[in-house]
A and B are shown apart, each in its own frame.
Chain A
């Protein structure tokens, strides 16, 4: 399978990365090189093979359903580019 520049632009939008026409063109070549490389997986017979979910067989550890941490609003917003009263500030999303 290979991608064209229009697909690359669509994927870039899904990934929320702004691309110029020039970027999209360059990425098309690079992505096709990688997709070409992974194509060889089609040679492998995977009939009846379970997909890997965990490399180390282990039971999921469960914890008590209780509050273990919290009341750290200031720590949480400390690194944000824009905040007000411990809220994150973003451009308006609803009219």
Chain B
């Protein structure tokens, strides 16, 4: 029999329904895998075996009665950013020390309502600020992928690094993640997993620790396109508790798979050919274009002229929103408190001890660009540039383009404690150069594994769609997946 943890969600679902396996067996297999691997990979910051076994037993009882939800008995990992009732929820930060919320986020509540089983909470960059999972208070996550013939530890990307590593290393069947500038798609690309950031407003943000409210969106990381479609269907909903949740029924994304893409128009934006991009990324992109053409799509060259301004505009908008959102962590209502001689000093000491370097850096930038006299020069201008970035996309969609194909990241995974990235924060930020435009415009984007580089490390392609047209993304990503095949790391941990 195949190892239970190697089953995709779709495969496990079929075996659970046919009673070939039980949810209890599947959950135990994952718990054993986590126990064996987490010391090396550091993907989980909290494992919840008792809760997992209880949820699995409840699933088995429902399955026995022939009642089953869309994710009945499927063991999942949850990013530490999602509030889970009575369970460790710290957003990878020290400042939320000991925080166990008294409520459940809408996204996770949707998953449990569909029968999913929680294995634990996944490591992440602190408050989702990072592209390497190195800003976590709990230390870096190690990528299950290594370069051929090397035993050097690589980053899994970030901020959803724990989610991507756990999915790639068979430590959960699928995981929740969030994406503010690329935090689902970049780690997916670094680990040969599939990650989708849906349209802004598709998943409720209620109960997700806020980073940049106008950009944050939840989405899944999964082993293949079908699993991502299954997970998104359960995660997405219309939520009266989030005013930006969009009142639109959630389609059956899985049903969109396998349909022909004949006649679809796929746009190739010339501005995504950036200086210093490795030859291999360009080659892979050309391969993706060929796969689309072979499947009957029409390839069109397009221009998104404001692309290069998306990242600088992001580094004004996101820190500005973060500085406001993170004002709530003050040592009064939850988490860490470091005493001071008065209340102000208590705030200052708490925040100095509770926030890591990257978070402080962004709160400081945000505070500065919003401070008196600078608002117009920075924030207002960045929001105007954002309008132009969105308009670029609207123009190409109006010309009949159905989806846009780009590389997912400018490189493959890099080493932990990379000298260049550590010396210059901007260098780390450039990881998101292909993904951040999508958040700025509120569009859906999917990263799908497309090949390996000369060192045997995964590279991904990204597809960008019209607002609320995730179905086209699943369909086109499915074509790439079929042509490229599946990629799995060699187990060393």
Contact = CB atoms under 8 A, between A and B. Distances in A.
Given A46-B388, A56-B200, A17 B364 contact: yes
B291 interface: no
Given A41-B309, A44-B385, A18 B337 contact: no
Contact of B371 (A14, A58, A78, A93): A14
A50 B440 CA distance: 15
B367 A19 contact: no
6 contacts: A16-B327, A17-B348, A30-B361, A52-B214, A88-B333, A91-B340
B385 to A, nearest CB: 5
A67 interface: no
A12 B366 CA distance: 11
A79 B323 contact: no
Interface of B: 98-103, 199-201, 214, 240, 243-244, 246-247, 306, 308-309, 312-313, 315-316, 323, 327, 330-337, 339-349, 351-352, 355, 360-361, 363-368, 371, 374, 377-378, 380-388, 390, 424-426, 429, 440-442, 467
Nearest to A53: B383
Given A31-B364, A40-B312, A61-B247, A81 B380 contact: no
Contacts of A43: 309
Given A38-B378, A46-B385, A91-B343, A79 B334 contact: yes
A90 B364 contact: no
Contacts of A79: 98-102, 333-335
Contact of A8 (B355, B364, B387): B364
Given A16-B347, A44-B385, A44-B388, A92 B342 contact: yes
Nearest to B439: A55
Contact of B309 (A11, A33, A44): A44
B387 A52 contact: yes
Nearest to B100: A79
Interface of B is mostly: helix
B368 A19 contact: no
A9 B426 CA distance: 22
- A interface: dominant SS: loop
B160 to A, nearest CB: 21
Interface in A40-92: 40-44, 46, 49-56, 58, 60-61, 63, 72, 75-82, 88, 90-92
Interface residues of A, number: 54
A73 B375 CA distance: 38
Contacts of A60: 243
A60 to B, nearest CB: 7
Nearest to A47: B384
A3 interface: yes
Contacts of A15: 323, 351, 363-364, 366-367
Contact of A16 (B98, B100, B330): B330
Nearest to A40: B312
Contacts of A91: 339-343, 346
A38 to B, nearest CB: 4
Contacts of B355: 17
A14 B424 contact: no
Given A11-B368, A41-B316, 13 more contacts: A1-B374, A3-B368, A15-B351, A16-B351, A35-B365, A37-B429, A38-B313, A51-B380, A53-B383, A56-B246, A79-B335, A81-B331, A91-B341
Interface string A1-35: 10100011001111111110000000100110111
Given A17-B364, A31-B368, A38-B312, A88 B352 contact: no
Given A38-B312, A56-B246, A75 B441 contact: no
A79 to B, nearest CB: 4
Contacts of B309: 40-41, 43-44
A10 B188 CA distance: 39
A56 B201 contact: yes
A44 B306 contact: yes
B363 A17 contact: yes
B396 to A, nearest CB: 17
Nearest to A12: B364
Contact of B348 (A16, A72, A80, A90): A16
Given A18-B348, A79-B335, A55 B384 contact: no
User: In this complex, which of A3, A14, A53, A81 has the most chain B Cβ atoms within 10 angstroms of its Cβ?
Assistant: A81
A41 B243 contact: no
Contacts of B426: 33-34, 37
Contact of B351 (A7, A11, A18): A18
Contacts of A81: 331-332, 334-337
A7 B48 CA distance: 46
B214 A55 contact: yes
A34 B244 CA distance: 30
A58 B323 CA distance: 26
A21 to B, nearest CB: 13
A89 B343 CA distance: 10
Contacts of B214: 52, 54-55
B317 to A, nearest CB: 8
A53 to B, nearest CB: 8
